[in-house]
Structure 1
Amino acid sequence: MSSTGIDISIIIPVYNGKNKISKALNSVLKQNFSGHKIEVIMVDDGSKDGSFDYLESIKKAYETREIMLVALKKKNEGVALTRNYGLKKANGKYIMFLDQDDWIEDRCLETLWIQAEKTNADLIISGVNMVDDDGRIIETWSLDPAKEWNKYRITAPWGRLFRKKIIDENNLSFFNTKISEDLYFNMLFFSYAEKIDVISYVGYNWVQDKLSESHNNWKKISEERNPLRMLNELENKMGTNGYLKNKREEKQYFFTKYLIWYLLYCGKNCTAEETKILINNIFGWLDMHYPDYKKYSWKRLGYPKGERISVKATVSLTILLYQLKLLPIFLKIYREI
């Protein structure tokens, strides 16, 4: 328990979520976590639909002795700065993030808490159910603790417990960007944390909204959506003595995969000239920071263990096409499919 007596602070960014957030809040209020104090920090990011008034009414109606609801309001700045605002107000020993249209299972907090306290881990990572708007499960990712790569498979900040002390002592925060602010925070935390645990439990339900801002941001090119801007900042801020200290190869594959994924996703909506610029910028960044990415060939499809074979094949094929100078032609065909 923290010095404030609060065990877990749950941070929920809210933007025009008056008609969406009730399921998320109800899932927290239903937690069977007797004897532990929970703080729910709901941060309204300049909503225009009366969300803050709704949050205030929920606070008055449902606050209990063990679950303290906090409703805060700020100007509209985006999810990264909204989470940072919540972090500054949080008092718990551990931090959990919850998005306004998602929800957690009834024993989620208890399960993650028990694991964190038992192993003294700085970060507990669990799996996720991907669900549609009606709550039907589309796909479930249950992570195998025996496979090291499962620590890196999910880059979102939810579905896990972060030790607040690590965040405070190293002044960690989300990077203000339109793309992958969650990847930035997770990898930054990895670089300072000492112990990270994965559990097979699945307690987080993530709504697949194809119209969401975060989904559509991957299709657009602009300076505020430039992943290299975020990665340069991350390279400058990462610690050198934490969990990633001797994980050079894992970091290399992680960033290679991420940039190739970005290239394939964003490139499908780019012009031929924009695609050439993307290719040069992405592989130029890898050549500068992780030049051994070239070794991920067909002969190395066994690495990393725990990664999906389809993803490893995509990474290897893209690198091969780049080396053969055929990647622009492939992406031209890919755009037209």
Structure 2
Amino acid sequence: MSTKISVIIPVYNAEKYITQCIESLLNQTLRECEFIFINDGSTDKSKQIIEKYQKLDDRIKLLSQENQGVSIARNEGLRVANGEYIGFVDADDFIAKTMYETLYTTATRNDCDVIVSNFESEIEGHKTITKYSFPINVTLNKDYINHEILPYFLKEDNLNTGWNKIYKSKVIRENKVEFPEKVPLGEDGLFNMSFFSFADNMKYIDYTGYFYREVEGSATRNIVGKDYFNRAIEVYNMKLPALYKDLLEEKEIHKLRSIKLIKSVMSYIHVYFTSSNELGFSERFRYIETMISNKEVRKALLVCYGELNGTAGRYEKCILNLIKIKSTIGLYCVTAYSRFRNT
């Protein structure tokens, strides 16, 4: 049986959710899959749970390594993958039983290098579906990728993830596409920028088969272990693939990256003003005060304020203007009121 899709699943201390993840994979209507689990130094029972299922289904492969991070784990999975296409799943999440059949059928119908779909997020009990404004179910050529998709990665975060896509293995192998190692934030985005720069075509489908669960200790919840803002600054200043210099003028690149940084700051304000047992209020207050006064933020705000203010909703405009006047107390009041209204 030839393998149509290799699914790579990095695992680190995921025992609470991994059973649901594994069962959602094994229940796929597309049977010709392999599921490559990389145990990244887990200290809980994750490895034993995977081994139990491995005895029941030989499509499960298990590799183990010392804790080295998600990028090295995924690259190890890429090294041993045999599938025609590659998919990624996080061990805390799960997928619909038709997901890989839907994406694979779409990919092979037009020999696409990559398929993009929607995903559902559950954060603090609230579920949202991320969709895109790209043409639906249309084969998009390299010109579209160069002028719409690659710039999109500079401006937005919501296309960065690898979960809601399948990638043609041949493109990955021939161009040595991999996840950057020792990059604490933004590794998914850099992988995608690299892959899409080599892709000849793609397709976006209005289908939701991936279910993302934000859990305690995840990259978006661990506000003590993850210094979001400084990492966002690193992404803002990060060296881009050489292709971007040929696609866009430096001024346009700077504007798109500025938009992304300010949007990140706006989201971090909400994260840090949400009650937390990890940090006291005064520490969170000072963090935001430092963030909105940062010289890179002030520079980025000057570049993109007009565009963001022109497209933002009422709440976002309020946050944006409070950042502009450096009103930390105003930001606290507005975010507190927003949380009160949404409870």
Residues 237, 145 of structure 1: CA spacing in aligned structure 2 closer, same or farther, 3 A cutoff? closer
2:6/2:81 contact within 8 Å kept: yes
Deviation of 1:271 after TM superposition, in Å, equals 4.7
2:27 is the counterpart of 1:30: yes
The share of aligned pairs that are identical, in percent, is 24
1:43 match: secondary structure: strand
Deviation of 1:21 after TM superposition, in Å, equals 1.9
1:178/1:217 contact within 8 Å kept: no
1:127/1:141 contact within 8 Å kept: yes
Q: Which of the residues 139, 156, 160 maps onto 2:165?
A: 160
| Residue of structure 2 in register with 1:44 after alignment | 39
Task: Please give the alpha-carbon distance, in whole angstroms, between the structure 1 residues aligned to 2:128 and 2:134.
Answer: 19
1:192/1:239 contact within 8 Å kept: no
2:234 match: secondary structure: helix
| Residue of structure 1 in register with 2:142 after alignment | none
| Residue of structure 2 in register with 1:121 after alignment | 112
Query: Which amino acid letter does the alignment assign opposite residue 127 of structure 1?
Result: N
* Stretch deviating more after TM superposition (6-15 or 78-87): 78-87
Which sections of structure 2, spanning at least 5 residues, go unmatched? 137-147, 275-280, 338-343
* Stretch deviating more after TM superposition (246-255 or 259-268): 246-255
2:341 is the counterpart of 1:327: no
**What's the TM-score once normalised by structure 2's chain length?**
0.72
1:256/1:286 contact within 8 Å kept: no
1:31 match: secondary structure: coil
Q: Which of the residues 281, 301, 307 maps onto 1:296?
A: 307
Residues 179, 91 of structure 1: CA spacing in aligned structure 2 closer, same or farther, 3 A cutoff? same
Deviation of 1:252 after TM superposition, in Å, equals 5.0
Task: Please give the alpha-carbon distance, in whole angstroms, between the structure 2 residues aligned to 1:32 and 1:104.
Answer: 11
Query: Which amino acid letter does the alignment assign opposite residue 261 of structure 1?
Result: S
1:9/1:96 contact within 8 Å kept: yes
2:233/2:296 contact within 8 Å kept: no
Residues 180, 265 of structure 1: CA spacing in aligned structure 2 closer, same or farther, 3 A cutoff? farther
Spell out the pairing of 1:52-91 with structure 2 (5 A cutoff).
52-63=47-58, 68-91=59-82
CA RMSD of aligned residues (A): 3.9
| Residue of structure 2 in register with 1:101 after alignment | 92
| Residue of structure 1 in register with 2:267 after alignment | 261
Spell out the pairing of 1:96-245 with structure 2 (5 A cutoff).
96-131=87-122, 138-143=127-132, 145-146=134-135, 153-168=158-173, 169-209=175-215, 211-218=216-223, 222=227, 226-233=231-238, 236-240=239-243
Task: Please give the alpha-carbon distance, in whole angstroms, between the structure 2 residues aligned to 1:271 and 1:60.
Answer: 47
2:120 match: secondary structure: strand
Residues 167, 216 of structure 1: CA spacing in aligned structure 2 closer, same or farther, 3 A cutoff? same
Deviation of 1:171 after TM superposition, in Å, equals 3.5
Residues 180, 263 of structure 1: CA spacing in aligned structure 2 closer, same or farther, 3 A cutoff? farther
2:18 is the counterpart of 1:21: yes
Residues 218, 127 of structure 1: CA spacing in aligned structure 2 closer, same or farther, 3 A cutoff? farther
* Stretch deviating more after TM superposition (113-122 or 182-191): 182-191
Residues 242, 22 of structure 1: CA spacing in aligned structure 2 closer, same or farther, 3 A cutoff? farther
Task: Please give the alpha-carbon distance, in whole angstroms, between the structure 2 residues aligned to 1:114 and 1:177.
Answer: 34
* Stretch deviating more after TM superposition (111-120 or 40-49): 111-120
1:57-80 C-alpha deviation (Å, 9 max, x unpaired) = 3223212xxxx3210001123333
Residues 174, 92 of structure 1: CA spacing in aligned structure 2 closer, same or farther, 3 A cutoff? farther
1:130/1:138 contact within 8 Å kept: yes
1:17-65 C-alpha deviation (Å, 9 max, x unpaired) = 345322222222222225xx322110111112343243233223212xx
1:13/1:42 contact within 8 Å kept: yes
1:199-245 C-alpha deviation (Å, 9 max, x unpaired) = 11111122343x23323234666499622224433xx1424169975
2:119/2:211 contact within 8 Å kept: yes
Task: Please give the alpha-carbon distance, in whole angstroms, between the structure 2 residues aligned to 1:9 and 1:245.
Answer: 34
1:238 match: secondary structure: coil
Task: Please give the alpha-carbon distance, in whole angstroms, between the structure 2 residues aligned to 1:227 and 1:11.
Answer: 26
Query: Which amino acid letter does the alignment assign opposite residue 195 of structure 1?
Result: N
Task: Please give the alpha-carbon distance, in whole angstroms, between the structure 2 residues aligned to 1:264 and 1:244.
Answer: 34
| Residue of structure 2 in register with 1:284 after alignment | 296
Query: Which amino acid letter does the alignment assign opposite residue 212 of structure 2?
Result: W
Deviation of 1:131 after TM superposition, in Å, equals 4.9
Residues 215, 222 of structure 1: CA spacing in aligned structure 2 closer, same or farther, 3 A cutoff? closer
1:195/1:243 contact within 8 Å kept: no
Deviation of 1:334 after TM superposition, in Å, equals 5.2
Task: Please give the alpha-carbon distance, in whole angstroms, between the structure 2 residues aligned to 1:9 and 1:242.
Answer: 33
Residues 188, 219 of structure 1: CA spacing in aligned structure 2 closer, same or farther, 3 A cutoff? farther
Residues 286, 164 of structure 1: CA spacing in aligned structure 2 closer, same or farther, 3 A cutoff? farther
2:319/2:331 contact within 8 Å kept: no
Task: Please give the alpha-carbon distance, in whole angstroms, between the structure 2 residues aligned to 1:154 and 1:186.
Answer: 9
**What's the TM-score once normalised by structure 1's chain length?**
0.73
